[in-house]
Amino acid sequence: MKHTFVIIAILLIAKTISAQSHQLISPNERLVVTINIDNGLVYSVQKSDITIIQNSRIALKTNKFTEATFNEKPTVTQTNSKGEIKPLWGITSGITDEYSQITLSYPENVSVQFRAYNSGAAWRFTTEIDGELMVFDETAEFNMPLESTVYYPETKSFLTPFEPNYLPNDVSKIDNDKLAHTPIMYTTPQQHVVVISESNLFEYPGMFLKKTGKQVFSGVFPKYPKKEKQEILGRWRLVKWPQLSRMVVKSTEDFIAKSEGKRDFPWRVIMIADSDVDILNNTLVYQLANEPTMDFSWVKPGKVVWDWYHNWNLQGVSFKPGINTQTYKYKIDFAAKHGIEYVNIDDGWSKLWDFNRINKDLDVEKVIQYANEKGVGIFLWAMWNTIDKDFTAHLDMFQQLGIAGLKVDFFDRTDQRMVDFINRLAEECAKRNLLLNLHGMYKPTGIDRTFPNVVNIEAVLGLEYNKFSDKCTPEHNLTIPFVRNIVGSMDYTPGSMRYMPPETFKKSWDNPHSMSTRAQQLAMYIVYHGGVQMLADSPTLYEQDEIALNFLSKVPVTWDESIPLVGKIGEVIVIARRYGEKWYIGGMAGTKEQTVKFPLSFLKNQKYKASLITNGDNASDLKTETLELDSNQNFEHTIPALGGFVMAIEKDIE
């Protein structure tokens, strides 16, 4: 992957607004970060004279210096930078990376960098210290306006699958000490949309948030593990369920991180937009991550035929479906016939704790060879702690098997030990040309920029919840694009072909239904994004719907350009995305019918023809029609409650 940067760095005297305060102004001059150094380090953020973050404290406590360091007077410098990032895959083929930066350098060889972008603000610590650095605590406050509405993904502990509902609540109604994992989102009284997260997470635990004051939320971090054990049923090896065989922390050290003293710390990221729709193209987490240092030209995004969601059920076949050779050969034939790049072999191909104890009904080597002959790649599922038992040997084995990638699961933690493992896994898989799809995993922190072989990350309450829960609601599906998907790729695993409205919904392990229509499920392939996208349901169900299968066979997963058109958190979303010369538009509605209207000026003054897919006369069905479009037009469409639409647009050559 090639990156071309044009950097302009000018040493400036930071703009001083008092003897102890400095202002950092974004390139478009609308966003201002005010930094006060009078009594410790305090920052605030305004956009268009509206307060986004009120005075909030920053500090770091280590074995080399304490919070008192930030009471000292720093040397202050400012630089400006403008460049271009060329992602290998994602929602756009080019990102303008422009910001202003202030660096505060303190006597103990620690600095704090603040950046102001048009799309938000960020800060991080850097150190130039000899020897080992141990971090005991970090102060990272986010003091939001009291009248804000916050989408706060609560969790009871640091042990979590990172699969929340993002439910709106008044800031004042969240109890003190309530823990949540990031990202969180809030809307200000003036309707600015703000997402708090982090980027470039290396040698450090992931950030959670806890309410510590009337409207103050503070970063909290899991401590470094001292002792960890496989959960008891897994240690006895008497259990089939992976969640009962995961590794948990039994005791911890008194510090949160340890590393070499010369280092950059993770960025604390505040993504800011003027409206719901404007947040959808925010790429700040990606921009702040490290550039790749390896060749990733071999990485191939694509779609994946999944197995676990529909419990390996195939209808009308001549063999008994299940975790067996015949079932996977059938799925491979389906993928090859319809241009689907990958097939996933999920839990059950081997024992959870031993990759050499393979399911007697499944000839894994034969299936992989068959797939490769058909031009289809195979993803193999594995628990991270099983890989870790013989890390190098296991990765070498997977490479020698000839698979395309690994789906690694049940991390369920974000302490430094886990973060280090994931970054090492990404790097070592890259050396072996192995893709990674990470499940039971914390949210993206720009890892897909540093390691583009990490082609998707779960960290979302996805379609699979329909098997065992009623939490995958229409409101949830219309919330996650605004808060979870904007921090990075999201493996929601769309594609349900069975619909059941919320009022009659029943969970089913073998034949799960979604609470959104088939048309909305198709729209998710445009609205949601990730480097690989699952086709969650049974191939035999797709084969019964020519409209759905034709769309799924052709829709891309990576894009050259993305334009959000309509957006209201929890209610409605419409996004246009371009791949090459072809445009796709996807729209989704929540529990209420939505009439959307938007200009087609992005089509560049040409006449186009479009294939429109919408809900059929029966909500479980689809219908399609051909339209003629003109870039001078506005397009208007009514999306029924729980419904959606997709439109594929190309130039009219006649």
Residue numbers annotated as active site: 409, 464
- Residue of 561, 649, 562 whose CA lies nearest to 612: 649
pLDDT given for residue 503 in this prediction: 96
pLDDT digits (tens, 9 = 90+) for 489-505: 999 999 999 999 999 99
Residue with tokens 């919840």: 465
> Quick check: 53 and 33 in contact, CB under 8 A?
no
* Tens of pLDDT, residues 44-81: 999 999 999 999 999 999 999 999 999 999 999 999 99
How far is Cα 52 from Cα 150, in angstroms, rounded to an integer? 13
Helix pair 364-373, 391-401: axis angle to 10 deg:
50
Tokens for 439, please give them: 């499940």
Write out the DSSP string of 560-576.
SEEEEEEEETTTEEEEE
State whether the Cα torsion 640-646-652-653 is positive or negative.
negative
Phi-psi category of residue 452: left, alpha or beta, with phi > 0 → left and psi -120 to 50 → alpha: alpha
518-527 vs 546-554: helix axis angle to the nearest 10?
Answer: 10
Tokens of residue 323, six digits: 């975790």
At 242, is the pLDDT very low, low, confident or very high (cuts 50, 70, 90)?
Answer: confident
- Chain segment 558-596, per-residue pLDDT in tens: 999 999 999 999 999 999 999 999 999 999 999 999 999
pLDDT at 19: 54
76-80, 232-236, 465-469, 635-639, range with the lowest pLDDT: 232-236
φ/ψ of 63, rounded to 5, equals: -75, -10
Mean pLDDT lowest among 214-223, 327-336, 598-607: 598-607
The pTM assigned to this predicted structure is 0.95
**Residue 542 tokens, joined:** 């797709």
* CB contact at 8 A, 581 and 574: no
Measuring CA to CA, which residue among 155, 113, 357, 97 is closest to residue 240?
357
Rounded distance, CA 544 to CA 254, Å? 58
Domains of the chain with bracketed CATH: 15-221+256-287 (2.70.98.10), 302-558 (3.20.20.70), 584-651 (2.60.40.1180)
Residue 541, CA atoms < 13 Å, CB-side half-sphere: 23
Report phi then psi at 417, rounded to 5. -55, -40
- Count how many residues are written for the chain: 654
State both tokens at 415.
Answer: 């302490």
